[in-house]
Amino acid sequence: MNELLMGSLTLSLLHALIPSHWLPFVTIGKANTGVSGKRC
């Protein structure tokens, strides 16, 4: 049972590192910063 849990945790962490999951949020965040660098 522990092997299944550790495998699932490892797979989910590796899956979260895929850029297609977090890159859109980073680019939207950078687009929302103004000239002064402050967020809207």
pLDDT digits (tens, 9 = 90+) for 1-40: 999 999 999 999 998 888 887 888 888 888 887 555 565 5
**Residue 17, in any domain of the structure:** yes
Spatial contact of 25 and 18, defined as CB atoms under 8 Å apart: no
**Residue 37, in any domain of the structure:** no
Q: pTM for the complete prediction?
A: 0.50
Spatial contact of 27 and 21, defined as CB atoms under 8 Å apart: no
Predicted local distance difference test score (pLDDT) of residue 17: 87
**Residue 40, in any domain of the structure:** no
Host domain of residue 17 = 2-31
**Residue 18, in any domain of the structure:** yes
Predicted local distance difference test score (pLDDT) of residue 13: 92
**Residue 11, in any domain of the structure:** yes
Where do we find the tokens 């522990």?
Answer: 2
**Residue 36, in any domain of the structure:** no
**Residue 20, in any domain of the structure:** yes
- The structural domain count of the chain equals 1
Where do we find the tokens 């965040």?
Answer: 29
